[in-house]
Copies of this chain bind each other. A is one copy, B any other.
Amino acid sequence: MMVLVTYDVNTENSEGRKRLRQVAKACVNKGQRVQNSVFECLLDPTEFAIFKDEIEKLIDPEKDSLRYYFLGKNWKKRVEHVGAKETYDPEETMVI
Which residues of A pack against B, CB within 8 Å?
4, 6-8, 10, 34-38, 56, 59-72, 77-85, 87-88
Contacts and interface: CB of A to CB of B under 8 A. Distances in A.
A16 to B, nearest CB: 11
A78 B70 contact: yes
A69 to B, nearest CB: 6
Contact of A37 (B37, B63, B77): B37
How many copies make up the complex? 2
Contacts of A35: 6-8, 37, 65, 67
B8 A69 contact: no
A80 to B, nearest CB: 4
A53 to B, nearest CB: 11
